[in-house]
Amino acid sequence: MSEQGIRRDGPPRAIQKVRDATFLVQVPLSAAPSADWRRLFYETQQGAPPDFPPRSIEFSGSLLRFRSDPASVNAKIAVIDRWLERANQKEAAMAGRSEEQRQRREEWARENQELAALNESWSKL
C-alpha cells in the first residue's frame, strides 16, 4: 500500500445490469486492501446514508463494487471517497499507536535490564 493509503484509481464503470435501472458498478483501487483495512472501512464510518451502508460495498482484490442506479453514482462515489480517506486515517493512527507501544515496550525492557544490572552489582553489599 502507498504512503497515501488506498484510494480510488479510476472512474466507476457499470459492469452488469442487476435489474431495471440498477447496475453493478466497479471502481479500481490503488491497492488491494488488507482484511484489517477492510474492517476499518466497514466499522469506522459515521453518518452513512440509510440506503447506502458501508456493508453494501464489496471488495475483490483491488476492485470495489456496489449496486446503484445511474443517477446516484456521483453521490455514492463522493461518499466512498470520504470512507476511503477515513479508513486510511484510522489505519495510519493505529500504525502510529502500534509504533508508540513498541517503543514503550523497548524502553521498559531497557529499564528492567538497567535495574537488573544495578541489583546484581549491589547483591554482594
CA dihedral 95, 97, 101, 103 (to 10 degrees): 70
Domains identified in the chain, total number: 1
Question: Is 112 inside a domain boundary?
Answer: no
Q: How many CB atoms lie within 10 A of CB 7?
A: 14
Residue 2 above 60 pLDDT?
no
In this structure, which amino acid lies at residue 9?
Answer: D
Residue 70 above 80 pLDDT?
yes
CA angle 27, 54, 40 (to 5 degrees): 95
CA distance 3 to 30: 11
Question: Is 106 inside a domain boundary?
Answer: no
Cell numbers for 14, please give them: 457499470
Residues 37-62 have pLDDT tens digits of 999 999 878 778 888 989 999 999 99
Residue range(s) defining the domain that contains residue 38: 13-95
CA distance 98 to 75: 35
Name the pTM for this structure: 0.73
Question: Is 120 inside a domain boundary?
Answer: no
Least confident of 26-30, 55-59, 64-68, 96-100: 96-100
The CATH number of residue 26's host domain is 3.30.310
